[in-house]
Amino acid sequence: MIITIIGHGYVGLVSACVFADFGNEVYVIGHNKEKINRLKNGDPLIYEPGLKELLEKNLKARRLHFTLDYSKAIPQSEIVFITVGTPPKENGEADLSAVFEVSRNIAKNLGSHFTVISCKSTVPVGTNKKVELILEKHAPKKSQFAVASCPEFLREGTAIADTINADRVVIGSSSKKAIDLLLKLHEPINGKKIITDLASAELIKYTANAMLATKISFANLISFYCEKTGADVEMVLDAVGLDRRIGRVFMYPGLGYGGSCLPKDVLALIDTGKKLNIDVSFLESVDKINQQAKENFLKKILNYHQGKTIAIWGLAFKPNTDDIRFAPSIFIIENLLKQNFQIKVYDQEATENIKKIFGGKITYCKDPYQAAEGSDQLAILTEWNEFKQIDLKKIKKLLKNPLIFDGRNIYDPKLMKKLGFKYYSVGR
Ligand code: UDX
């Protein structure tokens, strides 16, 4: 098939590479010439394991084309996916201006054959109907098209595997022709195919992300109880998780959920609920606990620090990505700077992105040992694998004080005690 993907972020570029790898011809449209040129030369612009290799392979096979020009791609495409950003506005509402702008551009360039236009970006329920109205207004008279919602569920860090081995493929549309074309394209993708109406497809995505956020906030809430009572949150959740109705996955306490999806989608669902006159206090609590998780960790550092130099390991919002959007590291660093801490950071992928925010205000280290050397204490904010079995005896020698604040519970408290560390983790 010939398809077009508008946007080349995590969802757009990963989907483009995977569909091209299945043998389809894929056009990717962007709006920044410099970025499009870099993509053409095999630079994925983001760090995602395996993505550079997949990009290079499909560029070489001439199945992937990057362009700024809608008229080159849209008229020949059977399916057009919209994967542009929908960032939160001040009030939490999803900013849909990019979705609507590209919809107008798609409309003006539609050919005479049937085309499906489908949002893969997470958009509030009702958005695809608005896209349909824009298409009807701007499309040439001879064009034939239908709108569908086909949300993407990939996680950063495991995006390619998640796309190919999806738990489900959701296709929402009232057009049988559109559903059939999308089913054909997604045929090689593992996972149950769910066919729904537009609104249900849009809401499935928000429900999934709000549920995941709820699980994390619930785990963090229980960690607060554990800290006040001497209980151990890992033991509590391990035992509770054995109940198959509850499960253990995605219930790890720590610094709360960051990233470009969960925080923004909870806020957008709150905003949609308010507009629909629904009591959103439950979701507001999920968001509030997420903030409290970071504040709770910060308080530990401020209460128990042994000097004003701190090493920070991990800046990305989770391991295996360079993404720092809504990363707890930003909140922690901002607040430590306000308290005049000297901060030495290390992250194997996210340093360049953090530099764009903090510039010369903090020190960037080339490895975890350099960050620890001469620091009064160490804080761990992302659970990168390289920290899990690091030489802790060496770290103890390098630090001025054997003091670790671990926001991701990566070490065994008993072992840390044995090694002579003062060790503050979460809910233990
Ligand atoms: C999420 C959804 O998982 C994915 O399905 C959707 O398509 C996009 O949003 P992503 O943001 O890439 O994916 O990362 P995810 O693995 O969900 O982690 C989100 C945040 O939650 C991270 O900051 C992570 O550290 C945190 N988290 C996750 C916890 O604090 N505890 C957990 O148990 C799991």
Per-residue pLDDT of the chain in tens (428 residues, 90 and over written 9): 999 999 999 999 999 999 999 999 999 999 999 999 999 999 999 999 999 999 999 999 999 999 999 999 999 999 999 999 999 999 989 999 999 999 999 999 999 999 999 999 899 999 999 999 999 999 999 999 999 999 999 999 999 999 999 999 999 999 999 999 999 999 999 999 999 999 999 999 999 999 999 999 999 999 999 999 999 999 999 999 999 999 999 999 999 999 999 999 999 999 999 999 999 999 999 999 999 999 999 999 999 999 999 999 999 999 999 999 999 999 999 999 999 999 999 999 999 999 999 999 999 999 999 999 999 999 999 999 999 999 999 999 999 999 999 999 999 999 999 999 999 999 99
> In the prediction, which pLDDT does 303 show?
98
CB atoms within 10 A of CB 67: 16
Active site residues: 261
CB atoms within 10 A of CB 136: 12
Rounded to whole angstroms, how far apart are CA atoms 386 and 221?
28
Q: Ligand 1 within 6 A of 203 CB?
A: no
SS3 of 345, please? strand
At 202, which helix (H) or strand (E)?
Answer: helix 198-229
Expressed in angstroms and rounded, the spacing between residue 216 Cα and the centre of ligand 1 is 9
SS3 of 246, please? coil
DSSP structure class, residue 63? -
Q: What is the pTM for the complete model shown?
A: 0.95
Mutate-to-test residue for ligand 1 from 158, 216, 426, highest number of ligand atoms within 8 A of CB: 216
> In the prediction, which pLDDT does 253 show?
98
Closest residue CA from atom 19 of ligand 1: 257
> In the prediction, which pLDDT does 187 show?
97
Length of the chain: 428
> In the prediction, which pLDDT does 426 show?
98
